[in-house]
Structure 1
Amino acid sequence: MIGRIRGTLVEKTPGQVLVECAGLGYEVDIPYTTFFHLPDAGSEIVLHTHFVVREDAQSLFGFAARLDRDLFRLLIKVNGVGPRLAVGILSGLEAGQFIRCVESKDINALVKLPGIGKKTAERLLIEMTDRISQLEGQVELAATGPVSAADQPESRRVAADPKEEAEAALIALGYKPQEAAKAISRVSGPGMNSEGLIRLALKSMIPAG
């Protein structure tokens, strides 16, 4: 099991990073909540990871904080929730936000997430209620800071077309093209990069409880 990786951030895109460690380049799938905290390429980062092995694929998932990773591990134990859906949940909601949704039985916030229908939301509330207690003592450690070992600032990378990149990222997350375009148009402003657009669009579609 690969539980933690520390190395140089070579490339980053919404949903995935390439981290070089001891001469090897690891492709790591990440939720958007981790992507927002990434430093500039070339910086050293630390990710808490979970390695998934299947007959047809091997995937490494990375998270800004241990709480995110541990919550991911609890989510994939829920009936009908696989790694990709779990990443989608943690892309739309910070770990602390999701925990509050479970504790307050806020089904409305969950059904706004792509891929989450009412039945899945109800199952999440039922099955995660008892499991959340396993995270006791970690809630305050939610991913609210950068994952750079050197406290680097958030990236200011400017995409050739930030709006198109942001829309593509939301579509990849599971939102319909019309929903993605509408959300980006609603929050877009002069000089905004794709990271800022994605962050604001997600907040507008899934307001914090």
Structure 2
Amino acid sequence: MIAKLRGKLHEKKPNYIILDVNGIFFEISISLNCFTSLPDLNSELIISTYTIVREDGISIYGFLNDDEKRLFLLLNSVSKVGPKLALSILSTCEIVKLKSAIKNRDINLIATAPGVGKKTAERIILELRDKIEEFEVVMDADTGGLDDDIISALVNLGYKKVDALSALKRLDDRYKTFEERLREALKLLNKL
């Protein structure tokens, strides 16, 4: 499996890029949202990838961030939703709007993607509604720096990661240091 590729952006189109990795040119399918965030041609680019090997060829799908890749994999896990349809959905909806549509059962928003009808949108909602909450925990876990240390400390103290994340979200911004944030998070968790 190819997890990431680093190289120069040789060509970019709304549905794919060609990445020059030391003289080997990879064609990588991307979403329209990914396309709008790409740097200029000949810029160095690191892109997360998902590779599918079939008897008729190899397909590489690219993502500028891990959240888009995770959502792509979730969509791809839905029955009758393949990688091309998953990419079509990601091209039509931003990650936040798509998550909201799944949680709120907004069939119409999901059905706006090319190739997605009402039945497919219903299936996506049915199969992913519970998984979206887990996805959000993973996304929120990528907070970085200080909050990661606080989450780790709270988990080591026996709290659930979901509860630790919830407590950190509710913290006032005036708490800046590790000690202040940990103390206030503990106060919130003890009220549960």
Confirm or deny a common fold (TM above 0.5): yes
- 2:69 maps to amino acid: R
Aligned length: 141
SS of the residue corresponding to residue 125 of structure 1 reads helix
Aligned to 1:118: 118
Q: Considering only CA atoms, is the larger Rg found in Structure 1 or Structure 2?
A: 2
Q: How many Å apart are 1:83 and its aligned residue? A: 0.6
> Following superposition of structure 1 onto structure 2, how do residues 48-197 of structure 1 map, counting pairs within 5 Å?
48-135=48-135, 136-138=137-139
- 1:18 maps to amino acid: I
**1-side partners of 2:5 and 2:94: how far apart?**
21
**1-side partners of 2:140 and 2:63: how far apart?**
15
SS of the residue corresponding to residue 133 of structure 1 reads helix
SS of the residue corresponding to residue 114 of structure 1 reads coil
Aligned to 2:45: 45
Q: How many Å apart are 1:40 and its aligned residue? A: 0.8
**1-side partners of 2:95 and 2:140: how far apart?**
8
**2-side partners of 1:132 and 1:49: how far apart?**
21
- Large movers: runs of 4+ above 3 Å: none
SS of the residue corresponding to residue 77 of structure 2 reads coil
**1-side partners of 2:140 and 2:46: how far apart?**
19
1:54-109 residue CA offsets vs partner (Å, 9 max, x unmatched): 12121000011101011111111101100100000000011121111111111111
CA 1:108 to 1:90, structure 2 compared with 1: closer, same or farther past 3 Å? same
CA 1:52 to 1:39, structure 2 compared with 1: closer, same or farther past 3 Å? same
Query: As a proportion of its length, which structure holds more helix?
Result: 2
SS of the residue corresponding to residue 34 of structure 2 reads helix
- 1:118 maps to amino acid: K
1:123-170 residue CA offsets vs partner (Å, 9 max, x unmatched): 0001011222332241697xxxxxxxxxxxxxxxxxxxxxxxxxxxxx
Q: How many Å apart are 1:113 and its aligned residue? A: 1.5
SS of the residue corresponding to residue 105 of structure 1 reads coil
**1-side partners of 2:97 and 2:48: how far apart?**
19
Q: How many Å apart are 1:23 and its aligned residue? A: 2.4
Aligned to 2:158: none
SS of the residue corresponding to residue 100 of structure 2 reads helix
How high is the TM-score relative to the length of structure 1? 0.64
1:176-207 residue CA offsets vs partner (Å, 9 max, x unmatched): xxxxxxxxxxxxxxxxxxxxxxxxxxxxxxxx
**2-side partners of 1:63 and 1:140: how far apart?**
19
How high is the TM-score relative to the length of structure 2? 0.70
